[in-house]
Structure 1
Amino acid sequence: MADLGNRQNGERRNFGPFCLSPTERLLTRDGRPVDMGGRSFDLLVVLTEQPGRVLSKRELLKRVWSDVVVEDGSLRFHMAGLRKLLGDGEGGARYIATQVGVGYAFVAPVERVDPLGVSVPPSIPDEATERISADTTNLPPRLPRLIGRERDVRILVERVADTPLFTIVGSAGVGKTSLAVEIGHQLSPHFDGKIAFVDFSMLENPTVVPSMIAGAMGITVQSEDPLAVILGHIRDRRFLLVLDNCEHVIEPTANIIERIVDEAPNTRVLATSREPLRIRSEHVHRLDALAYPENPADLSLEQLLEFPAVQLFCERAAAADSSLEIDEESARLIGGMCHRLDGMALPIELAAVRVATHGISATARQLGERFSLGWSGRRTAQPRQQTLQATLDWSYDLLSRTEQVVLERLAIFVGPFSIDAALDVAADTEIGSNEVAVALDELTSKSLISPNRSRVSGTYRLLEMTRAYAREKLHARGRDPYVAAARRHASYFLGELEAIGRSDEDLLQDPRPLRLQLGNIRSALDWCFSRTGDIKIGVRLAAASAPVFQNLSHLLECRSWCARALSELADPQRGTAIELELQGALGISLMFTRGNSAAAGNALARALEIATDLEDHWSQLRMLGGLHIFHERIGEYQTAMLHARRAVEVAEAIGEPEAIGVANSLSGISHHLAGDQLRARLELELALETSPPSQRSRTTRYGFDHRNRSAIALARALWLTGHSARASAVARQTVREAAQLDHPVTHCIALIWSLAVYLWMDELDSAQDALDAFTECAEVNALGPYIAAAGGFRGELAIQRGGPGEALGAIEAIEESLSRLRAIRYELLTTPFSLALARGLMQCTRYQEARELIEATVARCNGNGERFALPELLRVKAQLLCRVDGDVSASETLLKEALDLAREQGSRAWELRITADLDGLLAANRSCPSCDSSSAEAPARPRSSDARPTLTGSSKS
């Protein structure tokens, strides 16, 4: 026979009309023996050992068939026979429940009695473990007391820190979230507070799971691959990611977690779900119901109050009614309700709050008549309606008709909502605002709506299962009620977002309130563009929400909704401010997510056209700024200059300091790249004088920070005009300010141009630090063009450090970087990288290749208007004339031409380098008077400084 444990104590188990005696191997019904097979008897013994607990198929097979190997079919056969023998399902009797894909549980009340007929009390839970308080990132507040979960907390605290993935699995309402939050708080010191809590209950669209995780981590995402950004942040760091309510987004979540487990070995994931994720490395912690009395009628008040389920009920009931007194009879009624509720935390809380309104006796009577708890069904079933359907039916039926309707209408919200939002969405001609306010208060008091009073304004939200249940009720009323509620919901958020757009206050500066409403904005957009939606509202909502998506760096979503709205644009909306906002946001989003495509340029150009027709000067200036950087990035510098000149005209028409600052920034940068360094300095300094302090909201609307970009361009112009110390100070300060702005694109722009300053000054350690920061920022935020550029800078730095041994690898790095940058139409770094590549080729004595490269670069710069580096290009070309042709005279002529150009540009730094080379060339000629300028042998080998063209003496001018 199977080893079923110690049965020597003679304990009997009573359930319904049955009495089970494990030691006598006897089952009786109403005192008469029941004939049953040995395996079925053993199954019954094992199931009744832990009533209410789901026993897995593997566990049952191991316990009952320990001596043989059997298939699942045998278990199903004997389980079906046992159910038939017990009369399971006859007359409402219920003994064995199946949790599909998991196992079985004995669900009838079981009373244990010893040989003398005395009830055997259940074991008392362990004492609570000491909690560790610690600051966390965005963890919700922990419960003052987590009742009945001491053992679960102890197990998880000991194991989560050393396990890649732990999933807390249990039915809806069992308390998974509360346990996960407690574990997060206790493990916070172990992870140095690096914890992110993600509540997927606010999410309807599975495709934005990675974006939601990034948002909870506080990560700015400006790429098409949020997961790459997440991995960039946590790949080599200790981090705890708590993912709550995964069941309705289980497929994408499982894939993401598997990537995190594989690529971030120091990251730990704690998930909650109604079913396992079923992926590699997963450890499952099944969260059972709270312990409750099997037979409360035989227990004293003190004994009843020792059960966690009863403690939870009493605590919540007392909180709802401070005058509530619980005597022995009341405690027995409560124990009976906890039994009927199977010890589930959430249904217990719902019932306990009702006690304040209906009293203990009435609540117990209603619960006994109506409640039936089912096990969770398959994944394809209606979400969150399998296990707590009866609980919610019961709660719903206790409501007045007005409360029912208001609850259904509030289910249209995703995540938190304000009282103003509730009044706008739930009220109509049938139910007025006053009635909605009263109903909202009643629903909150009955725990069907959860208040969050930690915020100044106060917000509310429906629990996930309540919202799903109420939404189905709303759908059941027919198409019209649902469509009406969805239209009011979309209209409310359209009005809120359009009001923000019209407001003079900078309401976009703090992204936290906006982040909380992303679920509602997405839900409204989804409905508007659905089959039953309202396209007109949807187009306006897409335009109004574009600044929000840009502010939160959800550029992929911004691009998607703008493109969808533009495809549905009605003729009367074309050429309006709505199309202007959609085209402008689409252009910026495309530029930073897909590169400098023609579609991005066309969208920005169309937006500028509309802004011009509408005589909207501020929008003209904003679009000119986008077009300016777009054409710079694709190497069309003369076109960018035209946009800068037009921006100056528009700014003069506006007449405000900020507009003047933006225009001078664009003009100054264009003149810097065109080679007019004195004018560039003047305009860039004026831009900084007139620009307001950098703000994140203003930055996100432009796509980058004009003030910060002005400052880093000024640092370059300062070095070129001979003010190296000030250039270094400005560059360092600008990079610090960009980092504080928390805008990755702006930060990368600052680092790119600071790298040029440090390399020009031969400050190679500073250049290395800037390159490391730039590489990390680019990789962490998955900014493709900047990732490609990082390889080129690594090669340039290696070449400047000198040595033929490093040059070969550096040449390959720069060539690969140039190839990748050209593929995405990013030409802004072509000239400096070509210069670096030529120097690397010279170090490897590949002079002819270097000469061809320099000549091609000179021709390109003369053609496109990028002339700031021409003096340096001509200087290097002069060196190559000596090395390749030995033509000293031509080299001297070229150096003099470069010198004149440097003086014309005001580029004192280039002037000093060229002068040093010219002096060296003339000195070499004087030391060899017999050398003819046409001789192939003249001059002698260049001095050692020419082997590395950045001359030590002149580079620090």
Structure 2
Amino acid sequence: MADLGNQQNGERRAFGPFCLSPTERLLTRDGKRIEMGGRSFDLLVVLTEQPGRVLSKRELLKRVWSDVVVEDGSLRFHMAGLRKLLNDGEDGARYIATQVGVGYAFVAPVERIDPLGALVSWSVPVANEVACKLPVGTTNLPPRLPRLIGRERDVRLLMERVADTPLFTIVGSAGVGKTSLAVEIGHQLVPQFEGRVAFVDFSMLENPTVVPSMIAGAMGIAVQSEDPLAVILGHIRDHRFLLVLDNCEHVIEPAANIVERIVDEAPNTRVLATSREPLRVRSENVHRLDALAYPDNPAELNLEQLLEFPAVQLFCERAAAADSSLEIDEEAARLIGGMCHRLDGMALPIELAAVRVATHGILATARQLGERFSLGWSGRRTARPRQQTLQATLDWSYDLLSETEKIVLERLAIFVGPFSIDAALDVAADPEIETNDVAVALDELTSKSLISPNRSRESGTYRLLEMTRAYARQKLHARGREQYVAAARRHASYFLGELEAIGRQDEDLLQDPQPLRLQLGNIRSALDWCFSRTGDLKIGVRLAAASAPVFQNLSHLLECRAWSARALSELADSQRGTAIELELQGALGISLMFTRGNSAAAGNALARGLEVATDLEDHWNQLRMLGGLHIFHERIGEYSTAMSHARRAVEVAEAIGEPEAIGVAYSLSGISHHLAGDQVRARLELELALEKSPPSHRSRTIRYGFDHRNRSGIALARALWLTGHPTRAGAVARQTVREAAQLNHPVTHCIALIWSFDVYLWMDELDAAQAALDAFTECAEVNAFGPYIAAAGGFRGELALQQGALGEALGAIEESLSRLRAIRYELLTTSFSLALARGLMQGARYSEARELIEVTIARCHGNGERFALPELLRVKAEIVCRADGDIAACEALLKEALILAREQGSRAWESRIAVDLDGLVAEN
């Protein structure tokens, strides 16, 4: 009879629908008894004693067949029968896993229940503990390893402390397994952070200045400002969030600065970083990751003892994966133990050595390793350059390759991050190495783990491990400048061709940003090379133009601005006046306007873009440039110029003859007539714009820089109120704001909230105004929109004034006006000046109020912003009446205002003026 230990303690074990009672020798499924043989039952008892642990074949045979001598075949036969009884593999259920050449492990969660039914303990394999609980698609964490070998203590320690510690940095030498540990911790902490976990892989980054943008991109945050970190902090300041920053060592200074800001200003955020050295910032806790344990004297240990060491387990698992027929006996295990000792237990070189076993065998691999490897480090952080880390390991792996494989590996090192097989073939092939040879070499390099496949995506991508890539790039440079330049040129040309092809189908490009986000590293690398000393400026200029929509789509407007400006400065004479210059000027104008404000450079870029589009007779791009110029001149208070752009847009749209073009053009025209004071015409044109415009779509919104349809809707709400339809105005305003929020475009959302606020104040709906102000303020601050943040103070003052808080109101409005004028944002100054004048009048500061109103009236006459003139004249009349008691002058001003309101079709202003006139007559 087998000695099965725990059979006598009365304990029962539950897993899935099964319940196992060792003392009763009974297995049930949903309460129904399952008939099974004695040996299979004993196997199940032994396996469930230590779930998650791989039990060697020898141990299982010893425990279950202690009284007889049997072959391995008997164990495999009973294990197959046991799997069948458990329905292992059906409907995703998994109970028993095989580690080829080693043994078996029970991998389902096991509850241990005492005879009274109380839960005694919970045992579950680390790698499977959370997998069944995670909601799908909540984070961008890479796939976790099926089994993280030898890191149980590290996982346990970090799981206990990371969630309650501002910053934990996993520090260790290259290849020790820092990333794998961080990914595992991230997956296990997903439930605690309710899915708010973001993974940032800095190994794909070559330009340290875009570290903040890369973090924002990984978090899915749109950044349209000069300060991406401010946007990040705005999003996470009040939420629990786990940020996993991987491979920080080569961007350690910007990473440290950012992490310190996050720790200081986002108290609910936790940062888990990996690096070869500590970040050395406040609140940092360092977890030093040591090498995997390995045997010091493998010749003195037996098979079972050797297999207890994590380094040996890792080697065996990787070697068996490379050769499923591999059998590891005691002699082989001792050779493996010796190799792990020579490799100091470092995970990466162990894996590189293990895959060689499939080709060269264990004995030959051990002999080569002993002859070739002389590592000068033992898992400790060193001062050697990063590209020299694991030099001996990579030299040895490299020397085992054929000449074609070496060249292909070197050329593939030009990629930054993932690449497709098509990209690999285009970049690695040349007259010396044909495409078929590259394909064969790619397969070989993948099988030897020098290239890592990612099978989690449908299309399938590949990438080089960071150290392999650095090593291979060094080899590529060593072949000579011509070889490197040729590979870099093919790399840049490939992505130029891809982006130009995608650009011809911009609806698809702008709708699904994820594939583009994965290639940002390659796009940036290609641009960096093109504009370098050895680069190709002609390709670079075209690439900058082709990548501009990508940066706009991903809200990387700072990069869009930088590359567009650089490309324009290098524009060849043959490229001037072409579609390339048109795209670059348009991208520069839009990105400047939303990142730096309404600068002259932004206006000049858009004007030049319009000029080029006109010369090319490109009507759609004329319309796009006119839309940008219209909002630009409107913002800086040049309303007559904006009106001229609107008129031209109508002409262009009529030439195009398509509904969308008509919708865009009459949106511009309707808004201009609204601001000019012709509310009847404005209403007709805005209703026509909405009728002709297709539903709001993110791709069009991004292309234009803002959503024309949404802007038409919120302007129509204002025109409706002014023409005497307040109920409909409120309904249209609310609907438009809801649609803007659903569009997930912060600029459009802010525009809708800005103009809806006035509608709510005019209607005296202070609760709705407060809600709009709160939403606007949050959107502006989260996205670091400087002009909108300045405007929020003015809105706050307007609302406070209407609520009777005079002292608070005046200061807020005055400060907002000052800030808006400093950044050339005049669009809101008339409304704020009106509010400020009312506040000054309430405080009996009549001379200041009169001066402010007169200056505002003069400015409106001068720049064509006439919609508020009736209200300005009405307020001036009230000031004259209160300050001077001049009834005749007051009456004359009111009559002038009344005539103007009627001319404009502004029945709302007309009603207010009429009430004041009636009151004046009644009092006198």
Verify same fold: TM over 0.5: yes
SS of alignment partner, residue 283 of structure 1? strand
- The yes-or-no answer on 1:537 pairing with 2:539 is yes
Measure the CA separation in 2 of the matches of 1:372 and 1:238: 47
Alignment CA distance shift 1:374-1:695 (3 Å): farther
- The yes-or-no answer on 1:457 pairing with 2:459 is yes
Q: 1:840 Cα deviation (Å)?
A: 1.1
8 Å CA contact retained: 1:128, 1:150: no
**Residue 569 of structure 2: which of 563, 567, 576 is its match?**
567
Measure the CA separation in 1 of the matches of 2:495 and 2:599: 32
Q: 1:870 Cα deviation (Å)?
A: 1.1
CA shift digits 1:816-856 (9 cap, x unpaired) = 11111111110000100001111111221212211211111
Letter in 2 for 1:217: M
CA shift digits 1:57-90 (9 cap, x unpaired) = xxxxxxxxxxxxxxxxxxxxxxxxxxxxxxxxxx
Measure the CA separation in 2 of the matches of 1:527 and 1:146: 38
SS of alignment partner, residue 419 of structure 2? coil
Letter in 1 for 2:594: F
**Residue 329 of structure 1: which of 331, 334, 339 is its match?**
331
Measure the CA separation in 2 of the matches of 1:769 and 1:470: 57
Measure the CA separation in 2 of the matches of 1:359 and 1:860: 87
Match of 1:772? 774
Q: What does 1:51-70 correspond to in 2, within 5 Å?
A: none
Alignment CA distance shift 1:922-1:381 (3 Å): farther
Match of 1:789? 791
Match of 1:546? 548
SS of alignment partner, residue 407 of structure 2? helix
CA shift digits 1:275-309 (9 cap, x unpaired) = 11122211110001111111222212111111111
SS of alignment partner, residue 388 of structure 2? coil
Q: What does 1:13-412 correspond to in 2, within 5 Å?
A: 131-133=129-131, 134-135=134-135, 136-375=138-377, 381-386=384-389, 388-412=390-414
**Residue 510 of structure 1: which of 496, 509, 512 is its match?**
512
Measure the CA separation in 2 of the matches of 1:325 and 1:854: 92
Gaps of 5+ in 2: 1-122
Measure the CA separation in 2 of the matches of 1:708 and 1:199: 37
Measure the CA separation in 1 of the matches of 2:382 and 2:753: 48
8 Å CA contact retained: 1:621, 1:659: yes
Letter in 1 for 2:613: A
Q: 1:320 Cα deviation (Å)?
A: 2.0
Measure the CA separation in 1 of the matches of 2:460 and 2:736: 39
8 Å CA contact retained: 2:172, 2:380: no
8 Å CA contact retained: 2:233, 2:265: yes
- The yes-or-no answer on 1:474 pairing with 2:468 is no
Gaps of 5+ in 1: 1-125, 926-957
Q: 1:916 Cα deviation (Å)?
A: 1.9
8 Å CA contact retained: 2:169, 2:285: yes
Worse-matched range after superposition: 333-342 or 281-290: 333-342
Match of 1:865? 864
Match of 1:846? 845
Measure the CA separation in 2 of the matches of 1:311 and 1:726: 72
8 Å CA contact retained: 2:201, 2:247: yes
Q: For the aligned residues, what is the CA RMSD?
A: 1.6
8 Å CA contact retained: 1:200, 1:245: yes
- The yes-or-no answer on 1:446 pairing with 2:445 is no
8 Å CA contact retained: 2:197, 2:241: yes
Alignment CA distance shift 1:215-1:567 (3 Å): same
Letter in 1 for 2:350: I
CA shift digits 1:864-915 (9 cap, x unpaired) = 1111111111111121121011122322222222222222212122122222
Match of 2:922? 923
CA shift digits 1:158-188 (9 cap, x unpaired) = 1112211111001111110111111111222
Measure the CA separation in 2 of the matches of 1:637 and 1:357: 75
Measure the CA separation in 2 of the matches of 1:767 and 1:395: 67
SS of alignment partner, residue 507 of structure 1? helix
Letter in 1 for 2:168: F
Letter in 1 for 2:885: G
8 Å CA contact retained: 1:372, 1:391: no
Letter in 2 for 1:444: T
Measure the CA separation in 1 of the matches of 2:322 and 2:268: 44
Match of 1:942? none
Q: 1:325 Cα deviation (Å)?
A: 1.7
Letter in 2 for 1:709: R
Measure the CA separation in 1 of the matches of 2:517 and 2:555: 11
Measure the CA separation in 1 of the matches of 2:344 and 2:182: 21
Q: 1:587 Cα deviation (Å)?
A: 1.0
Measure the CA separation in 1 of the matches of 2:857 and 2:381: 68
8 Å CA contact retained: 2:277, 2:381: no
Match of 1:100? none
Q: 1:518 Cα deviation (Å)?
A: 0.8
Worse-matched range after superposition: 129-138 or 556-565: 129-138
CA shift digits 1:336-364 (9 cap, x unpaired) = 22212211112222222222222222222
**Residue 604 of structure 2: which of 597, 602, 627 is its match?**
602
Q: 1:532 Cα deviation (Å)?
A: 0.5
SS of alignment partner, residue 386 of structure 2? coil
Q: 1:380 Cα deviation (Å)?
A: 7.6
Measure the CA separation in 2 of the matches of 1:916 and 1:558: 54
8 Å CA contact retained: 1:172, 1:384: no
CA shift digits 1:502-524 (9 cap, x unpaired) = 23653221111111111111100
Q: 1:807 Cα deviation (Å)?
A: 1.3
Q: 1:378 Cα deviation (Å)?
A: 8.5
Measure the CA separation in 1 of the matches of 2:761 and 2:254: 45
8 Å CA contact retained: 2:507, 2:699: no
SS of alignment partner, residue 506 of structure 1? helix
SS of alignment partner, residue 679 of structure 1? helix
Alignment CA distance shift 1:723-1:379 (3 Å): farther
8 Å CA contact retained: 1:127, 1:150: no
8 Å CA contact retained: 1:764, 1:797: yes
Match of 2:635? 633
SS of alignment partner, residue 359 of structure 1? helix
- The yes-or-no answer on 1:818 pairing with 2:856 is no
Alignment CA distance shift 1:282-1:504 (3 Å): closer
Could you state the TM-score of these two structures normalised by the residue count of structure 2? 0.84
Could you state the TM-score of these two structures normalised by the residue count of structure 1? 0.82
Match of 2:662? 660
Measure the CA separation in 2 of the matches of 1:625 and 1:527: 34
Letter in 2 for 1:251: E
Query: What number of residue pairs does the alignment pair up?
Result: 796
CA shift digits 1:446-497 (9 cap, x unpaired) = 1111111221211111111111110001001010000000000001111111
Letter in 1 for 2:386: P
Q: 1:657 Cα deviation (Å)?
A: 1.3
**Residue 425 of structure 2: which of 423, 426, 432 is its match?**
423
Match of 1:875? 874
Letter in 2 for 1:913: R
Measure the CA separation in 1 of the matches of 2:376 and 2:918: 93
Worse-matched range after superposition: 753-762 or 633-642: 753-762
Measure the CA separation in 2 of the matches of 1:769 and 1:127: 48
8 Å CA contact retained: 1:415, 1:461: yes
Measure the CA separation in 1 of the matches of 2:124 and 2:453: 31
CA shift digits 1:25-69 (9 cap, x unpaired) = xxxxxxxxxxxxxxxxxxxxxxxxxxxxxxxxxxxxxxxxxxxxx
Measure the CA separation in 2 of the matches of 1:726 and 1:625: 27
Worse-matched range after superposition: 361-370 or 864-873: 361-370
8 Å CA contact retained: 1:196, 1:242: yes
